[in-house]
Amino acid sequence: MFRRKKPAADQQPEDLDQDVVVVVDQSVNPYLVMFHEPAGFRAEQVRAVRNRLVAMNPDGEPKTLVVTSAVRGEGKSVSALNLAMAFAELERQRVVIVDADLRRPSCERYLNLNAEPGLSDVLMGRAPVDRLLRPAGYRQLMLLGAGTRVDNPAEVLSSSRLDQLLQRLKETFQYVVIDTPPVLPSTDAGVLAAAADGTLLVVRLERSLKKQSRDATRVLQDMGANLMGTYVTEVRGQDPESDRRLAYEAEPAED
Ligand SMILES: Nc1ncnc2c1ncn2[C@@H]1O[C@H](COP(=O)(O)OP(=O)(O)O)[C@@H](O)[C@H]1O
Ligand SMILES: [Mg+2]
C-alpha cells in the first residue's frame, strides 16, 4: 500500500533515495479485511482468533507463530497478514510479518509493496535483519519480505541462522507472524513450524480436503510443531448478510 511517488520529469535518479511515499490502497489484496473493512464482521472474527492466541499466552512472552496449511491456495498468506494486522492493533505491541514462502512469496504483492531483499538474504548472511525490516503500511506492523529468489529454499531455511533470527526478532517484537509454503508439497513449513512457538493450520471450509488437512496435521505433529488450532476461512452462512442476528452495527449518531 506504500508506493514510491513517480519521479518528476526533471528529477535525477540519485534524488530518489529521499522519495516521499504516498498511500495507495486499491491494489491491496481485497481479502485483507483488517485493512479494507476494519469495522466489519470478518475483521472482528480475525480479532477473535487474535484474542484467543493472546489468552493462550498469559505471561505475555514474545512469540513466533507460523501460519500454514496443507496445500497452496488455502488462504495462508491472507490469513497470516490479517492476523498480523490484528496483533498490530493492540496497544504498544510491536509486530512483524515474515514471508517465509521463498517459493511463491506473496506478502509484498498483497500489501502492494515492491519486492526487496528480505528473509533469504538474512539467512544467507548477506545482510543483518535490522536493515531489511520495513513498514508494512498498516499501523506499526513491520515486514520482512521473502527476499532475493533462491534455487534451494529448503536448504536456506534449514540454516542454523533461522533459530538465531527468530530469537533476534523476539527481542524486538511481541508477535512474529510467519507466512509459509504449504506443508504437503515441501519440507519448508515443517521446518519453520518446528522452529516456531506455535502453529496455526488454515482450512478453507468448502475447498480444503479433509484428508490433506489431516495429513498436514500429522506431518506438523511429527516435526514437533506446537499446533495451536485451526484457522477456518470461507465459513458461509455465519455472517450478518446471511443471518441478521449476527449484525451489530453502531447506532446512528443523534443530531
Ligand atoms: N476468504 C477468502 N475468500 C475467497 N478468496 C480468498 C480468501 N482469502 C484469500 N483468497 C484468495 O485466494 C487466493 C489464495 O490465497 P492465499 O492467501 O495466497 O493462499 P495461500 O497462501 O494458502 O496459497 C488468493 O488469490 C486470495 O486473494
Ligand atoms: Mg501464500
Question: Does 233 sit in the ligand 1 pocket, CB within 6 Å?
Answer: yes
Q: What is the pLDDT of residues 179-229, one digit of tens each?
A: 999 999 999 999 999 999 999 999 988 778 889 999 999 999 999 999 999
Find out whether 145 and 121 touch, Cβ atoms under 8 Å. no
Which residue range forms the structural domain that includes residue 232? 46-241
Distance (Å, whole) CA 249 – CA 240: 10
Sequence letter at residue 54 = V
Q: Is residue 251 part of a domain?
A: no
Q: Is residue 140 part of a domain?
A: yes
Q: Is residue 249 part of a domain?
A: no
Nearest atom of ligand 1 to the alpha carbon of 79: 17
Please, which pLDDT band fits residue 243 given cuts at 50, 70 and 90? low
Give, rounded to a whole angstrom, the gap between the first and last alpha carbons of the chain.
35
The structural domain count of the chain equals: 1
Question: Does 213 sit in the ligand 1 pocket, CB within 6 Å?
Answer: no
Find out whether 122 and 132 touch, Cβ atoms under 8 Å. yes
CATH label of the domain that carries residue 73? 3.40.50.300
Give the least confident one: 27-36, 62-71, 202-211: 202-211
